[in-house]
């Protein structure tokens, strides 16, 4: 655990992962100290249209890994915005190189 952010732990819901970033550039990954990452964004992360945000490669990889870890013990994950259920993390998002 790097400790530079804490967006996902067993007490949190899946939507908190999504809430960890919002819409602007560059990398919007919010660190535990309340600041954004600020490195140049390399990816546009699209959370099935509900949320979009730009992230650097490191934070994209971390986000995906954490989502997958979160989803691993669950049969599905639910989006708090549109209430859709998804059977896998891969179905939830797309990431496009920018």
Least CB distance to Zn ion at residue 27 (A):
3
Q: Kindly list the residues in this chain that would bind Zn ion in the complex (CB under 5 A).
A: 27, 29, 37, 39, 50, 56, 59, 79, 81-82
Least CB distance to Zn ion at residue 18 (A):
8
Residue closer to Zn ion, measured from CB, 17 or 37: 37
Least CB distance to Zn ion at residue 44 (A):
13
Q: What is the 3-state secondary structure (H, E, C) of the chain?
A: CCCCCCCCCCCCCHHHHHCCCCCCCCCCCECCCCCECCCCCCEEEEECCCEEEEECHHHHHHHHHHHHHHHHCCCCEECCCCCCEECCHHHHCEEEEC
């Amino acid at each position: 655990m790097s400790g530079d952010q804490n967006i996902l732990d067993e007490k949190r819901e899946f939507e908190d992962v999504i809430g960890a970033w919002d819409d602007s550039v560059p990398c919007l990954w919010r660190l535990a100290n309340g600041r954004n990452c600020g490195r140049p964004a390399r990816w546009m992360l699209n959370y099935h249209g509900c949320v979009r945000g730009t992230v650097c490669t490191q934070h994209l990889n971390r986000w995906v890994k954490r989502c997958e870890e979160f989803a691993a013990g669950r049969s599905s994950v639910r989006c708090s915005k549109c209430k859709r259920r998804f059977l896998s993390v891969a179905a939830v998002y797309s990431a496009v190189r920018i």
